[in-house]
Amino acid sequence: MSYRLLLDIDVVDFITTLPRREQLQLRRRLGEIQASPDRFSDFQEREPNGRLLDVHVHRGLAIYYWDDFADRLVKVFRIRRADT
Ranges of the chain with pLDDT below 70 = 1, 84
| pLDDT given for residue 15 in this prediction | 98
34 lies in which domain range? 4-81
Domain containing residue 32: CATH number:
3.30.2310.20
Where are the extended beta strands (E) located within 8-60? 43-46, 52-58
d(CA 5, CA 33): 9
What amino acid occupies position 19? P
Question: Could you give the number of structural domains in the chain?
Answer: 1
pTM above 0.85, yes or no: yes
